[in-house]
Amino acid sequence: MAIAIDLEDRRTSGIEFFDRSDARPRVAIIGGGITGLTAAFRLSELTPNIQIKLFEAGSRVGGVLKSVRQEGFLLECGADNFITITPEALDLCRRIGFDNQLVRTNTGLRQAMVVRKGRLCKIPDGFIIMAPSKIWPMITTPILSPLGKLRLVLEYLVPTNTDDVDESLAAFVVRRFGRETYERLIQPLVGSIYASNPDQLSLKATLPRFITMEREYGSLIRGALRERANRQKKQSDTGSGAPYSLFVAPRDGMSSMVNALAEKLPKETVQLGAPVDRITRNPSGGWTLAISGDRTEDCDVDAVIIATPAHRAASSLADVDPTLCSHLSKIPYASSAIVTLGYRRDQIAHALDGFGFVVPQAERRGILSASFSSVKYPGRAPDEMVLLRAFVGGPTITDAPGCSDERLFAIASEELGQLLTIQGQPTIQHVVRHKSVMPQYVLGHCENIKNIESRISTLPGLELAGNVYQGVGIPNCILSGQQAAERVLEQIGVPK
């Protein structure tokens, strides 16, 4: 049974979406994912002096965030947690009274693994994406050969790149650490975050922090060591560590967070089954939405926040600005398939002494990564059971979302069976496909976003929000939605 609530009771039953007798300005949000919901909440939080409607084409809010209960297991169809380094998601949870529903990762097993010649090896302690903050674990790791380790240590001597060329993430890593470290450690880690090939990813658009680190310290290793020392000194001075683990998750799944946010919106804000096909300028200087679905209506508003993928935004704005649509249409998206399997613990020989593993392309396997969901967080599986999630794809399975359920189950169970030494069939199995949901931050992405922002600046009362503009992850989506809401209020002259 799906946990995500279909908020049908929050749809209006009258003829009009907005109350035309109400003189307050009207703001429309298009898209009911976490970004659109956050934008609507931020508007309602800042002022009661506007009418707000959120138009969602589907039958539920949350977008890719959806939780499902099946035979005592708690399954996630999209992201299963969020990072706490950036504060936006935690802060939003506090503001809606949801922070007491967050659970931390399992304290004793906060580590990940990488596949090396068919075996799982622990990622060296202190290695964060591509900056080792501890030297000894890098020297002793079995993941790299002696020559690979030597080349990594020589990163201290690599000259700093001072030009402003948009360097690919792969080129940057190979230049600083060598090809082996890239292929065996960084490619699988980055690939699991962005669902992309680092050869095509823009470092400036994805991980600009490492550009800054190179220029400030002259070496990523030197920079990571100094930053770690600074963090330890700060914790020592304050006498306490972080109140949360690096990642947290809602106790009852991501849908519980989505629904808690939706319930904080004014009554009848959310309009389900209401796709917006076209947006046009109206004579008064506002915007007209052509809404289809169960009800067809043209709706005039003072401002619009579009919180849909870039290609959908381009389609809806075709009559507004062809140049803007051209820039939006340039942004590619990746698809994915997630297979979740439940086993009895005694079927799995592996110790499961971590949160999961990533798979280098060099291993030529059918999965990109796997997560030990019930090891990471409590309440994900019944006693004596284990819940595993596999992200299917890679160099040998190039069209995973197009595969049948049977094929996806076979790939996932075979790969997990080999790597974790699993005997027998799973107790439950679940598959979800996400088509064109992950924006690809390819070379030139930052310049393209600047062009989009330039065009949007000429269209007052229109804002764009989502993971394509601020970066991946729930906190970045929340930040994007909040900022769009604040800009809209400023543009239409509504006091906060």
Task: Confirm whether 70 is domain-assigned.
Answer: no
| Adjacency order of strands within the sheet including 276-281 | 276-281, 287-291, 297-301
One domain, residues 168 and 47: no
57-79 pLDDT, tens digit per residue, is: 999 999 999 999 999 999 999 99
Token couple for 317: 């704005």
Residue 116 resides in a domain? no
What pLDDT is recorded for position 390?
97
281 in helix, strand or coil?
Answer: strand
**pLDDT score, position 8:** 41
Looking at the fold, whether 477 and 348 belong to one and the same domain comes out as no
**pLDDT tens digits, one per residue of 7-42:** 444 343 333 688 777 889 999 999 999 999 999 999
Position 430, amino acid: H
Backbone angles phi, psi at 487, to 5 degrees: -65, -40
Do 134 and 195 reside in the same domain of the chain? yes
For residue 82, tell me if it sits in a domain: no
pLDDT digits (tens, 9 = 90+) for 357-400: 999 999 999 999 999 999 999 999 999 999 999 999 876 677 88
Residues 326 and 458 in one domain: yes
More confident residue, 8 or 55: 55
- Residue 361 in any domain: the answer is yes
Mean predicted lDDT score pLDDT of the chain:
91
> Which pLDDT score is estimated for 110?
80
DSSP labels for 385-438? Answer: EEEEEEEE-STT-TTGGGS-HHHHHHHHHHHHHHHHTB-S--SEEEEEEEEEEE
- What pLDDT score was predicted for residue 494? 83
CATH of the domain at 431: 3.90.660.20
The answer, yes or no, to whether residue 459 has pLDDT greater than 80, is yes
Check if the beta carbon of residue 297 is closer than 8 Å to that of residue 53. Answer: no
Residue 272 in tokens: 């389900």
pLDDT at 314 over 80: yes
Domain boundary among 217, 238, 259: 238
In-domain check, residue 110: no
CA distance linking residue 480 with residue 356, whole number of Å: 29
Q: Which residue from 29, 9, 10, 5 is spatially nearest to 268, judged by alpha carbons?
A: 10
Tell me whether residue 200 is in a domain: yes
pLDDT score recorded for residue 332: 94
User: What is the tens place of the pLDDT at every residue in 239-285?
Assistant: 444 455 789 999 999 999 999 999 999 999 999 999 999 999 998 88
Is there a domain that residue 266 lies in? yes
Single-letter code of the amino acid located at 57: A
* Residue with the two structure tokens 């890679």: 394
Residues 452 and 322 in one domain: yes
In a domain, 96, yes or no: no
Of 478, 461, 487, 490, the closest CA to residue 38 belongs to 478
35 and 20, same structural domain?
Answer: yes
Which of 238, 266, 298 is a domain's end point?
238
Confidence of residue 234 (pLDDT cuts 50, 70, 90): low
Residue 376 structure tokens: 């990471």
User: Do residues 33 and 162 both lie within one domain?
Assistant: no
- Indicate the number of domains in the chain: 3
Q: Give the CATH number for residue 41.
A: 3.50.50.60
Kind of pairing, strands 127-128 and 270-271? Answer: unpaired
Phi, then psi, of 203 in degrees rounded to 5? -65, -40
pLDDT value of position 9: 41
| CATH code assigned at 212 | 1.10.3110.10
pLDDT band at 461 (very low <50, low <70, confident <90, very high): very high
Beta strand extents in 4-109 (DSSP E only): 26-30, 51-55, 67-70, 73-76, 82-83, 102-104
Asked if the model's pLDDT at residue 229 lies above 60, the reply is: yes
State the amino acid at position 86 in one-letter form: T
Q: Are residues 199 and 268 in the same domain?
A: no
The reply to whether 229 and 133 lie within a common domain is: yes
Distance of alpha carbon 272 from alpha carbon 267, whole angstroms: 13
Residue indicated by tokens 């005039």: 300
Do residue 302 and residue 357 come from a single domain?
Answer: no
Model pLDDT for residues 100-159, shown as the tens digit of each residue: 999 999 887 888 999 999 999 999 998 878 888 888 999 999 999 999 999 999 999 999
- pLDDT > 80? residue 172: yes
Residue numbers of the domain that contains 487:
8-64+251-331+442-491
Shared domain for 52 and 146, answered yes or no, is no
Q: Are residues 474 and 432 in the same domain?
A: no
pTM (whole model) above 0.85: yes
Q: Which of 238, 265, 289 is the last residue of a domain?
A: 238
